[in-house]
């Protein structure tokens, strides 16, 4: 079984936990709920996440989210002050975000060439689209949605060409940066308002394994009363993973809703990053 089918089972397990969270189901019950033995579930989680399901599932609890939020406040403030996304590393040297101009948006991408492709990754199938200016869209595939149609709607006058050979390399770089932290520069080119761009730039400075509240983001961009607008900007993010909107949650620590690619995927991304952070930094995983 490869990582793609692993993810499908991981997502089912997370959904089962979401649906039964008030009962706090045991590992045996989670395994039974997704049609697996506890032993098999253990193997799937270890192969996919590198940690045991018991530890991984701890990262999707309300208590962990609250801990990560409390920890994130001084970290985000420091990151925004000095431009760091991790120890000793200038994030802006690796991921840069450029906004499409009002004229480019108004023209609907007239004269713009966009190459796109669909690819498989550890969090499911996703679309990557890029221009010469940079990556303009990363979108996970969802039931009932067509990401290519959404791309065409965003840029109705652009020349779209399917080119998986080209976007395959970009997809690999995107996953390296968004999940593992890449070591080569990657450019993003996004359509958004000035306010949205500010929010997305703030998200770029939230380190992997940390979480930030919408209110925290609002304070970070100098708009402390704009939490609702910040939440809307986070939801409008067109570039999944690389602009890490999955790291923004409610101040209460709850994140069952509000992620455009599904709450189960959001939990999976958050837990994956938390597990990796613990394995490589804060401590060994069990």
Spatial distance between the Cα atoms of 68 and 52, rounded to a whole number of angstroms: 20
Indicate if 136 belongs to the active site: no
- State the catalytic residue, choosing from 151, 171, 226, 245: 245
In whole angstroms, what is the distance from residue 193 CA to residue 215 CA?
19
Place of tokens 């101009």: 101
- Using CA atoms, how far residue 243 sits from 43, 108, 144, 188, in Å, is 31, 22, 24, 9
Read out DSSP for 173-221? HHHIIIII--SS-EEEEE---HHHHHHHHHHTTS-TT--EEHHHHHHHT
**Left if phi > 0, otherwise alpha if psi is -120 to 50, otherwise beta: which for 211?**
beta
Catalytic residues: 245
């Amino acid at each position: 079984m490869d990582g793609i089918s692993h993810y499908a089972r991981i997502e089912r397990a997370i959904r089962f936990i979401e649906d039964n969270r008030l009962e706090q189901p045991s590992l045996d019950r989670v395994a039974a709920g997704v049609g697996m033995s506890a032993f098999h579930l253990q193997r799937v989680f270890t192969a996919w996440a590198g940690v045991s399901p018991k530890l991984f599932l701890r990262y999707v609890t309300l208590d962990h989210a609250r801990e990560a939020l409390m920890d994130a406040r001084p970290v985000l403030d420091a990151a925004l002050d000095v431009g760091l996304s991790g120890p000793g590393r200038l994030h802006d040297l690796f991921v840069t975000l450029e906004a499409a101009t009002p004229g480019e948006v108004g023209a609907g991408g007239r004269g713009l060439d966009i190459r796109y492709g669909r690819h498989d990754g550890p969090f499911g199938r996703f679309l990557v689209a890029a221009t010469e200016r940079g990556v303009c869209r990363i979108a996970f595939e969802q039931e009932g949605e067509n990401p290519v149609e959404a791309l065409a709607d965003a840029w109705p006058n652009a020349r779209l060409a399917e080119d998986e050979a080209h976007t395959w390399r970009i997809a690999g770089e995107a996953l390296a940066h968004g999940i593992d932290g890449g070591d080569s520069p990657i450019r993003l080119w996004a359509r958004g308002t000035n306010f949205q761009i500010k929010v997305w730039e703030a998200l770029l400075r939230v380190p992997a394994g940390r979480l930030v509240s919408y209110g925290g983001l609002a304070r970070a961009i100098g708009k402390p009363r704009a939490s609702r607008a910040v939440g809307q900007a986070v939801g409008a993010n067109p570039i999944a993973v690389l602009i890490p909107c999955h790291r923004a949650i409610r101040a209460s620590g709850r994140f069952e809703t509000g992620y455009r690619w599904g709450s189960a995927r959001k939990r999976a991304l958050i837990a994956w990053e938390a597990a990796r952070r613990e394995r490589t930094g804060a401590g060994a995983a069990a």
